[in-house]
Every structure is written in C-alpha cells, then in structure tokens.
Structure 1
Amino acid sequence: MAETTDGVIERELLDEPHVAGRRVPVRALYTAVEESGASPSAVAAQFDIEPATVHRALAYAHDHPEEMASVRAEREAAFEAFREERAAAANGAD
C-alpha cells in the first residue's frame, strides 16, 4: 500500500518520495530544478510528466526538508559503501 500525499507523490517505492505511478524520485526532480538550474518545464519534458507534477514535487521537497535530507544522506551512504566495495574488490583482484 503506497502512502500518498495529494495523489501525486507516494512514499513507498524505492523507500523515498516519488511521483505516483512512476519511478521518478522527488529528489531527482528537486536536484534538476533547484541545484542544476533547469526549468520545471524542461524537467517535466525530460521525465515525460506534467509541469504541475514537477511543481508539486518541489513543494513536497520544500515542505519536508528533514525527510529529504535523510533520503539524501541514505543514498550518499549507500553510494559510498558501493564505491568502497568496488575499490576493495579491485584491490583484491591484483
């Protein structure tokens, strides 16, 4: 059962908020607009979603900063663990 906020954002898939019915994380939309400077319209076209959906995702991110920071920290930790595993495997293969 997916938990939805307004019918647009769910929180079950991938253990992070995402666009309902899609595998598009709020984090990706937020990063594309707020950190990379793309317009919401361009991001919507890139992900084949409505611009209003991008705006709702941005609103969700701004309304839930602690949750978004936690998701980001979890993803960064997982990526770092993966990187360390790869480095260890590469060093063991020598």
Structure 2
Amino acid sequence: MTEIVRTEGVLGGDPRIAGTRIGVLDVYELVVDGANPPANIADQLDLSLGDVYTALAYYYEHPEEMRELRNTQRERRSELARESLSPPNTAE
C-alpha cells in the first residue's frame, strides 16, 4: 500500500510518495491543474495508479496543509523571480 511521508531534507520536508521524490502537490498539479488523466501521470512518473490516487486523496484530505504549501511555493517562486531579475550587488 502506498504511503505518504515527510522527510526533512527531501523536497524540503513536503509530503511525498514514499520511496520517491514525487510530491503530493506535484501529482495534484499534473493531474488536476494540468488536466492529465491519472493513468497518464502514473505512466510518465513510473508510479502505480494507486500511488497517484493516494497522493490525490492526501491532497484532498489535508486542505489547510496543501493551501499553506501552495502559498509557500508561490512565495518561493516570486522571490526567485525577483532575485533573478536583480543583478548582484558587487560594489563594496
């Protein structure tokens, strides 16, 4: 049976499918946001269909955690975008 785990140092401690580096939010975004059938995602990521559905079930069973995770990732992306557009300050 598929397990969802959190491990510090792997995906920043975000929930993921045990034995992989595939996050719950990644699966959700590929299936739901990307409008891809679960079977296609399972095939592309070399997962079982049960793995995909377990990740989706975890997403829906933990709405607050997933909302926080999405917000954190959105903030990280914004920060990286700002940093990549700003030249480093080399004048000292």
Do they superpose with TM above 0.5? yes
Higher relative contact order (CA 8 A, sep 6+): 2
- TM bucket by the smaller chain? 0.7 to 0.9
Alignment of 1:8 with 2:3, yes or no, is: yes
Task: Choose 53-62 or 13-22, whichever is displaced more.
Answer: 13-22
2:64 equivalent in structure 1: 66
Aligned residues: 87
- 4+ runs of 1 displaced by more than 3 Å? none
Q: TM-score, normalised by structure 1?
A: 0.84
Question: RMSD of aligned C-alpha atoms?
Answer: 1.7
Once residues 78 and 51 of structure 2 are traced to their aligned partners in structure 1, the CA distance between those partners, rounded to angstroms, is 31
Aligned-pair identity in percent equals 30
5+ long unaligned stretches in structure 1? 1-5
SS of the counterpart of 1:24? coil
Q: Following the alignment from structure 2 to structure 1, what is the Cα–Cα distance between the partners of residues 82 and 31?
A: 30
The two structures have a TM-score, normalised by structure 2, of: 0.86
Can you give the 5+ residue segments of structure 2 that lack an aligned partner in the other structure? none
